[in-house]
Chains A and B, each alone.
Chain A
Amino acid sequence: MSKVDTICLVDDDEVYHYIMERTISRNKLAKTILKFMDGETAINFFNQNLANQSKLPELILLDLNMPVMDGWEFLQEFLIIQPQLKKKVTIYLVTSSVNETDIEKAQNFQIISGYLVKPIAEEKLLEILDNIPKSFTVS
């Protein structure tokens, strides 16, 4: 039994995609993994599936530094569509650098549940998933 239905990775690092995919599937953390290389393709997916919200993820692991549309821009776009979401989407920032200004900025976004610095231990990922509401919460 997986912990959530869908986890979404938004990161321009393919090796990281592979690592997370293996970790998630080995531990059966989710049935589906969505992978995006930048913020724009990710937000497009959300917009296209607003009518079909079972496809949307319960958890987004969001990188900050990406081409085309970075993590911050993605968050701005996400806030626009958030009122239309019928399920709780948890967002964690995942970056390879500890940047004070990024951390401060992250605190201003209420939708961000946490700021993770790579490498992420498998245990940490399990812990995060344990704290995510698994079923649909209709608001």
Chain B
Amino acid sequence: MINVITSDKLDYYKFFHMTQDLACIANEDGYFEDLNPNWEKKLGYTIEELKATPFYEFIHPSDIRKTKMEIEKLSLGHLSISFENRYRKKEGDYIWLEWSCTLEPESGHWYAIARDITFVKKNTNELKSFANRLMSQNKQLAEFAYITSHNLRGPIANIMMLTDLLEREEFENEQVKCMEKIKSSAHVLNNTLNQVIEAVKINNDTEINKETLTFEEVLGKTLRILNSDIKKKKAEIIYDFKNAPKISYPPIYLENIFLNFLSNALKYKSPYRDPVIKINSDHLNRKIHLSVNDNGLGINMKKHGGKLFGLGKTFHRNSEAKGHGLFITRTQVEAIGGRIWAESKEGVGTTFNIVF
């Protein structure tokens, strides 16, 4: 084919060929009519290859619907549109393109300019995840400030008042009582401090290794630890992991989750019935969701809901279990970007949920 270019068209021709952007003309049948040489450089195909293939075939499968919807606007009377999508390079990876596209109604041709924004996209995503991390760290800092002022100052103030009181108490039996209170306050304080230290450690340990774990195996390990308690309380454990059998997660965190939920379910069993504990995994909004349901005492959520995952609750310690409390479990889950919550009804039972 011979291109005859008259001098008045030369400037436009140069412009089309020399622009740093990706310029093209496409038709309503879904093919490129003409492309500038930058396309070859950016995507690695020849101009002929690009012209011979319907352009939808280059678009990332997840972006096709979005792109079609945008192009539809042209037939609805919009004269120009702008959008973003991903185009597949010859080597197989994708670049992000920012499009602006104008329709010429008479010929039905689309005149479009695309700009490679892969670098910007990558940076934006990095910034987003960075901002998210900062936000959650900020939240944790605020929480630590609250913990130190409330959970640590509380027992310290008590110990100070108790030692004052001890000096003034004249009767031995009152002095003994006072000593006991000092001891228990010191114990609470020590426990709280240990948990705070543990939580700080978890939050600093962002590089913790994830492994592919099967829920069934981790549950098996937990059941062996709790074996005697399960037998003693005649607990029935029902599980179903077939919808989501595996997860990539730090092993000690997942073990702690199971140990915590199960030992709680056993400890807070109803006096009227043998414990039945149901454990399920499935998918919720593309994420793995684990639920542990029991028929135990249940929790008054209005009264204790706010403190359930808070510090200072030591209702998890079991003779055989050496798992940490729900506060630590929550810290671990949130450090990996997950969410934890409980639903409960007094006298009916409790369901603990995690979206990983």
- Contact pick for A119, options B150, B161, B303, B304, CB 8 Å: B161
Stretch in A45-53, A77-85, A92-100, A131-139 with 4+ CB within 8 Å of B: A92-100
Q: Which residues of A contact B184 (CB under 8 A)?
A: 15
Q: Which residues in chain A, 9-31, are within 8 Å of chain B measured between CB atoms?
A: 13, 15-16, 18-19, 22-23, 26
CA distance A118 to B154 in the complex (A): 8
Q: Are A15 and B158 in contact (CB under 8 A)?
A: yes
A32 interface contact, C-beta 8 A: no
Q: Please report the C-alpha to C-alpha distance between residue A22 and residue B165 in the assembled complex, in whole angstroms.
A: 8
Query: Which of B150, B161, B165 gathers the greatest number of chain A CB atoms within 10 Å?
Result: B161
The answer to whether A122 and B158 touch (CB under 8 A), given A96-B153, A98-B149, is no
- B168, A26: Cβ atoms closer than 8 Å: yes
Interface membership of B181, Cβ < 8 A: yes
**Quick check: is B274 within 8 A (CB to CB) of the other chain?**
no
- List residues 88-123 of chain A with CB under 8 A from any CB of chain B: 96-99, 118-122
- List B residues 313-350 near A (Cβ within 8 Å): none
> Which A residues are in CB contact (< 8 Å) with B178?
22
> How far in angstroms is the closest Cβ of chain A from B342?
15
B303 & A68 in contact (Cβ 8 Å cutoff):
yes
Are A118 and B302 in contact, CB atoms less than 8 angstroms apart?
Answer: no
| Chain A proximity mask over B151-182: 1 for CB below 8 Å, otherwise 0 | 00111011011101100110000100110010
Contact present for B149 and A23 (CB under 8 Å): no
Measuring CB to CB, which residues of chain B are less than 8 angstroms from any residue of chain A?
Answer: 149-150, 153-155, 157-158, 160-162, 164-165, 168-169, 174, 177-178, 181, 184-185, 302-304, 306-307
Known: A68-B302, A119-B157. 9 other contacts (CB 8 A): A13-B158, A15-B181, A19-B162, A67-B307, A96-B150, A97-B150, A99-B149, A121-B164, A122-B164
A6 within 8 Å of B (CB atoms): no
Q: Is A65 touching B181 in the complex (CB atoms < 8 A)?
A: no
Q: Please give the distance in Å from B165's CB to the nearest CB on chain A.
A: 6
Which of B154, B165, B181, B302 has most chain A Cβ within 10 Å? B154
What is the chain B residue whose CB lies nearest that of A120?
Answer: B161
- Closest CB in chain B relative to A135 CB, distance in Å: 29
Is chain A's binding surface mostly helix, strand, loop or mixed?
A: loop
Q: Of the candidates A16, A22, A23, A121, which one forms a contact with B158 in the assembled complex, judged by CB atoms under 8 Å apart? A: A16
Q: How far is the CA of A121 from the CA of B163 in the complex (A)?
A: 11
- Chain A residues with CB under 8 Å of B161's CB are 16, 19, 23, 118-120
Smallest distance from the beta carbon of A73 to chain B beta carbons, Å?
13
Task: Give chain A nearest CB distance to B299 CB in angstroms.
Answer: 12
Contact yes or no, B157 A118, CB < 8 A: yes
Q: Is the CB of A22 within 8 A of B174?
A: yes
Sample of 19 A–B contacts (CB below 8 Å): A13-B154, A15-B158, A15-B162, A15-B181, A15-B185, A16-B157, A16-B158, A16-B161, A19-B162, A19-B181, A22-B169, A22-B174, A26-B169, A67-B304, A67-B306, A96-B150, A96-B153, A118-B154, A121-B164
Residue of B nearest to A27 (CB): B168
Per the bound structure, the CA–CA distance linking A119 and B164 in Å amounts to 10
